[in-house]
């Protein structure tokens, strides 16, 4: 994809990977960036950082767990700022907890944000892209969309689902010249993972590296953009042998009991 002069909308743009993607796209010559998340102050800060690159950035505060409001906001955004060439669905939440102890509220919030929120915004935008016969949608899944990790059952379920959704949508939208791809970061140093207890032995990558990998993947036209050697290795191991998580997790459980 040629990014020059394009309009991009990025969810989860107030911090972490979404913010890094917004800044990287600004460096790559995108002309307008629409920034979506709930925290308007943080969005305005990111917009100010982007303005340094002479790129127009607009903060669009939105709660993706409110599908009707999202639908209205998507239509207004398209009307007010013109066609969106690139949609990056990056907003997400993760709660690390044993499924046996998980609270329904946490489970619902992961599904509502990572999955239903993504559908809610993608549907009105994909329809307009299809009518215009032009566009690209990137859905941010995860290494945990390929390999399920204990204590992350609902998060993994949403990230596996995102890959299935992406694959199905790719086929559906191809006749309309709309590309759909997935980004699969491995552990990345952001607010999301700071409260995790289980993956401290994994050295995280940076959000900036994830954003650079996305841009390379968009240029190459990759349908699945794997980030970092850990993701490549883990995907390869998963294909070639039984899950290493199983023995690692069982060992830890035995030690705790």
Ligand X SMILES: NC(=O)c1ccc[n+]([C@@H]2O[C@H](COP(=O)([O-])OP(=O)(O)OC[C@H]3O[C@@H](n4cnc5c(N)ncnc54)[C@H](OP(=O)(O)O)[C@@H]3O)[C@@H](O)[C@H]2O)c1
The contact set with ligand X (CB under 6 A) reads 11-12, 14-18, 37-39, 42, 62-65, 90-94, 113, 117, 140, 142, 185, 187-188, 190-193
**Shorter beta-carbon distance to ligand X: residue 14 or 151:** 14
d(CA 160, CA 114): 11
d(CA 17, CA 142): 12
d(CA 47, CA 35): 8
- Could you give the dihedral angle defined by the CA atoms of residues 31, 218, 163 and 86, in that order, rounded to the nearest 10 degrees? 20
Q: State phi, psi for 233 to the nearest 5 degrees.
A: -65, -45
**Shorter beta-carbon distance to ligand X: residue 11 or 122:** 11
Instruction: With CA atoms as reference, report the closest residue to 71 among 18, 148, 128, 23.
Output: 128
Instruction: With CA atoms as reference, report the closest residue to 33 among 24, 42, 41.
Output: 24
Minimal distance, residue 110 CB to ligand X, in Å: 9
Give the CB-nearest residue to ligand X: 16
**Shorter beta-carbon distance to ligand X: residue 21 or 129:** 21
Minimal distance, residue 255 CB to ligand X, in Å: 25
d(CA 255, CA 143): 26
Minimal distance, residue 42 CB to ligand X, in Å: 6
| Annotated catalytic residue 155 | yes
Minimal distance, residue 112 CB to ligand X, in Å: 7
**Shorter beta-carbon distance to ligand X: residue 153 or 256:** 153
Give the catalytic positions in this structure.
Answer: 155
């Amino acid at each position: 994809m040629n990014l020059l002069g394009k309009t991009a909308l990025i969810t989860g743009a107030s911090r972490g990977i979404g913010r890094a993607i917004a800044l990287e796209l600004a460096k790559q010559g995108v002309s307008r960036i629409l920034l979506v998340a709930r925290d308007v102050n943080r969005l305005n800060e990111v917009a100010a950082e982007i303005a340094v690159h002479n790129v127009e950035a607009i903060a669009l505060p939105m709660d993706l767990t409110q599908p009707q409001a999202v639908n209205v906001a998507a239509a207004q955004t398209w009307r007010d700022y013109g066609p969106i060439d690139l949609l990056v669905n990056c907003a997400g939440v993760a709660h690390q907890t044993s499924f046996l102890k998980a609270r329904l509220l946490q489970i619902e919030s992961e599904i509502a944000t990572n999955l239903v929120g993504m559908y809610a915004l993608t549907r009105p935008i994909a329809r307009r892209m299809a009518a215009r016969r032009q566009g690209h949608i990137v859905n941010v899944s995860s290494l945990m969309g390929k390999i399920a990790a204990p204590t992350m059952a609902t998060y993994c379920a949403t990230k596996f689902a995102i890959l299935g959704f992406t694959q199905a949508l790719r086929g559906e939208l191809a006749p309309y010249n709309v590309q759909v791809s997935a980004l699969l970061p491995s552990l990345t140093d952001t607010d999301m993972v700071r409260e995790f207890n289980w993956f401290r032995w994994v050295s995280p990558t940076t959000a900036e590296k994830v954003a650079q990998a996305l841009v390379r993947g968009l240029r190459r036209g990759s349908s699945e953009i794997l980030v970092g050697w850990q993701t490549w290795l883990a995907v390869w191991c998963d294909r070639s042998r039984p899950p290493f998580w199983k023995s690692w997790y069982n060992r830890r459980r035995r030690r705790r009991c």
